[in-house]
Structures are given as C-alpha cells and as structure tokens.
Amino acid sequence: MSKKKPTKSTNILILGLGGVGYYLAKRLVHEGYAITAIEPDGELLRHADGNIDARLIQGNAMSIECWKEVGAAKMDYLIAVTNNDAVNMMSCQIAHRFGIPRKIARVRSTEFGSKDSLMSAEDLKIDLIIHPEELAAQEIFRLINLRAGNDIIAVAKGQIQAMATRIHEKSPLAHRKLKDISQEYNEFPFRVVAMTRGISTMIPSGEDELLPQDQAFFMAANKDLNRLMGLTGVEQQTRHRVMIIGGGLVGRRLAELLGKTVAVRIIEKDEASAKELSFALKHAEVLNGDGSDSDLLVSAGLLEMDTFIAATGENETNIMTCVLAKHLMTSHNTSKKGNQSKKQTKCIALVTKEDYVVLAATMGSDIAMNKKILASNKILKFIRRGELISVAHLHGFDAEMVEIVAAPNSPITRKPLSKLSSYYSNKIMIGGIHKDGVWQVAVGDTHIQDNERVIVVCMSQHLKDVQKLFLA
C-alpha cells in the first residue's frame, strides 16, 4: 500500500517551535503534511532539525521578507504558536494579506476572541483561537464533575463510554489475560483498549495480562457503564472538596469555574499572588505556603479532600507533589476504618513535557494532563476535520481515541477484525462500531462494512495507520 499525504497540497506554516509548535510539527510531519516553520531561536531550530523532516527557517515572525522567503502565499494553514499573544494575533492579519485561507493562533489572554470581546476572532482574521490554560481548566473541571473517580470519555454521542482506572492487587482482573477476562465476564461486552505500565503505553491483545498498578482504559456501552464500574471497583460518587496547588492561570480559572458548587482550597507559594487571589476568588479559600511540604498539606486539610490538583509551573513539583498527596490520602483512608474505607480520591498533575505524561500517571497521579497536548489536539482536530470525525487524547496515555468512517473498499472492510490483526496488532484497537443505527462495542468477529462509523484507539504515533486502514 503506497503512502500518501492526507491531502495532496496541504502546506502548513508554523510560527514558533517551542512546546506546542514542536509537538505539532512532529505530529503533522509524521502524518504526511508539508511543514514549514519559522523560529528565531537557533538552539530550538537545531533541536528540531535533528528530529523533524520539515523546512525550518531561522527568522522573525514579524519580518515580511521572511514570510516571502517561505512562500506564504502558497500555504493552506497558518499556525501561530509563539510565546507572544500580540505576535500570534498580528501574524494572522499578515497571513490574511498573503491569502492564507485558514489561520490558527494560540492566545493566552481570554480577553480576545470571544463574541463578547472588544475584538472577536472574526475581527482578528483568526479561524481558531487556542487558549491552552482555559482548555486545561475546562478539562479538569469536567473530570471533577464526573460521577466516578477516574477519567471517563463519552464518545459516539454518549452511547459509548471509555473509562480509565488503575488495577489494584485485589482486583478480580489482576494477573489475568484479557482473553480469559472476556470469556469469564461475558454478561455484557467491554474491551480494554489501552494500558500503561511503567512509562510505556500499549494497545493490548488478548494474550496480554493485566497487572497490579497498570492503568487501563475500558470501553463499554453507556447502558453497561454501571456494571463495568462495579467490575473494576470504581465507586460512583460526587466530589465536593478540591485542593489546588498553584494559583496561576490554570488554578485560578479552575477555581472560578467551580464557583459555589465545590469547596475549593488553593495553596499559592508567592505571598503577593496569594493575597491577590484571596481578593479575586470570593468562593475559594486561599493559603500562602509551599504545597510540596507534607506537614503544610496535612494542616491545610489534604486528608479531607476528594480531589487534589498540582498546577504549578514546574513539572517535577507537580509530579512529586501528587505522589506525596496520593500516599498521604491513601494511607489515611485505608487506616481510618481498618482498611474498610471506600472513599476514593483523585490526584491530577499538570505536566508540561509530553515525555512525562505517562510517567506522572504511573507514579501516583490518577490523571496527568498536558496543556500542550490539549492545545495541539484541538488544532489537529481542526486540520483533520475533513478526514476524521473527532479525535480525543487519553490523559496519561500516549494514545488517541478517533471516530472515523470506513471508506468503501478500504482495508478495514475486507475481513472480520479477528483476521485483520496483522495490520494493527499492538498499534490500533477497534473499540466501537455504529451498526443498524446503534453503537455497540466491537468484538473479534465484528466485520466493518462500507461507510460505517467506528471508534478506534491507537498509539499517538500510529494515527496515520488508522487512516491507511479506513481510507481507500
């Protein structure tokens, strides 16, 4: 099967090769898009040059000559993700003059781009505005409001649910092969579509075994979610008390979103920032102190919390604080009632390096969240909207959940799933399929037909293999 680009003439200009820009360029090049990037920092360029097969130009995003040099008039997309909001917004104005049809900009300030703003996205000539901190705060808000202690993603208009949970030593699923689990627990269809172990993500086969401390993503029909939660030991509960370490853009915005509905306590290390937060956040309690200090955490009421969120600007602080908090909360809950307490606590770490996401999830965080991945996935979804119906990232996993339509005579339609394993073994898992007007969990003898919609889970780097399977 010959490799082909998603679109024959999709040329993308990226401004800025920092976190989001580099991650996007790497993903888009891997999927076959033609990438040109402008970056003023020589060190970032040298790093990118050794890892990305793209046209890299050292220059200033505000230099019109630089735009001419890269052939801006021939570009299909502009993605402005420098660290300067003003540069990103102005770049979209320049791109409009060059005739670039679709323009995307990262803007940290929420004062621009909305319908109520002084300058809307239309005024700024921007087709998609990305607010990374807002995306992270909204996603954590969604997770806090879930009825379970772990991540649940609703797909297929809510008819299919994907749920992440950690496998504990006493779980009936521990030390069992997936094929044996499916044979024994066959009252309703479900699949393990992704697993993390140590720092590695895997798309499992029936021969793989679930081990204690594995983080597993299960998929089941919405009507069977309660039974799946019972099987995996996930308790349904409403969360009421939240502790946030770090009162930066994400922590502050999250406290605003939670408002009066949840009791929020923020620990901010900087005294001046803590005072400002205490005046600005009327429904949150703000404390000044070091959130990585175990004595301070306990005295601040950690042991009574339902959800703990580490949202400082430091990777290591967030990861290790979550490890500490999880240990303290778990020890307290198991000893309080002689190992009979069923209270479930959730720890969420904000991680800025994508290489740390799986590490954070396996060390102690129930969910590791990355603003860069959230922002990049929203951009990728916008670019791919003609090829994929939707794309969602699995937090703490190096994996994506994709909704796609099987093109007539595509490879996926030629045989039942059990006979196509050589194509996608350990790379792709078919989780759900829309048949006869109903979404259902896919099993081995499922045979996907032309134009049927399918939910696929794949390793992030194998998204192009999904396209090969489903596009004729």
**pLDDT greater than 70 at residue 7:** no
**pLDDT greater than 80 at residue 15:** yes
**pLDDT greater than 90 at residue 238:** no
pLDDT value of position 149? 44
Report the chain's mean pLDDT, rounded to a whole number: 85
Least confident of 35-49, 98-112, 457-471: 457-471
pLDDT value of position 163? 85
pLDDT value of position 86? 94
CA distance linking residue 107 with residue 33, whole number of Å: 24
- Phi then psi for residue 203, to 5 deg, are -95, 110
**pLDDT greater than 80 at residue 388:** no
What are the CA-CA distances from residue 260 to residues 255, 266, 284, 285 (Å)?
9, 14, 8, 12
**pLDDT greater than 80 at residue 370:** yes
pLDDT value of position 4? 42
Q: Locate the DSSP E strands across 289-446.
A: 307-310, 346-350, 367-369, 390-393, 399-405, 428-435, 438-441
Estimate the share of the chain in helix, then strand, then coil, as percent rounded to the nearest 5.
35, 25, 40
Higher-pLDDT residue of 194 and 120 is: 194
Query: What pTM does this model have?
Result: 0.74
pLDDT value of position 220? 87
pLDDT value of position 57? 94
146 confidence band (pLDDT: 50, 70, 90): low
Label residues 199-208 b or e (16+ Cβ within 10 Å = b): eebbbbeeeb
In which element (H, E) is residue 330 found? helix 315-336
| Residue 185 CB neighbours (<10 A) | 16
| Residue 255 CB neighbours (<10 A) | 25
Least confident of 252-261, 297-306, 333-342: 333-342
Tell the residue number behind the tokens 């040099």, with chain if given.
Answer: 69
336 confidence band (pLDDT: 50, 70, 90): low
Can you read off the two tokens belonging to residue 104? 């995307």
pLDDT value of position 87? 96
Angle (nearest 5°) at CA 447 between 219 and 382: 60
Helix, coil or strand: residue 256: helix
**pLDDT greater than 70 at residue 232:** yes
CA distance linking residue 90 with residue 124, whole number of Å: 8
Question: Using CB atoms within 10 A of its CB, is residue 107 exposed (0-12), middle (13-18) or buried (19+)?
Answer: buried
288 confidence band (pLDDT: 50, 70, 90): very high
pLDDT value of position 340? 43
Mean pLDDT of 221-241: 77
Least confident of 211-220, 345-354, 387-396: 387-396
**pLDDT greater than 90 at residue 359:** no
**pLDDT greater than 50 at residue 328:** yes
Higher-pLDDT residue of 107 and 148 is: 107
pLDDT value of position 222? 84
pLDDT value of position 150? 59
pLDDT value of position 470? 87
Phi-psi region of 395 (alpha: psi -120 to 50; beta: other; left: phi over 0): beta
Least confident of 144-153, 171-180, 203-212: 144-153
Which amino acid would we find at residue 337?
K
Mean pLDDT of 383-406: 76
CA distance linking residue 413 with residue 353, whole number of Å: 38
459 confidence band (pLDDT: 50, 70, 90): confident
What are the CA-CA distances from residue 292 to residues 267, 283, 303 (Å)?
10, 24, 15
On whether the CB atoms of residues 196 and 214 are closer than 8 A, the answer is yes
On whether the CB atoms of residues 195 and 202 are closer than 8 A, the answer is yes
**pLDDT greater than 80 at residue 292:** yes
Q: Give, rounded to a whole angstrom, the gap between the first and last alpha carbons of the chain.
A: 10
- Pairing label, strands 160-166, 367-369: unpaired
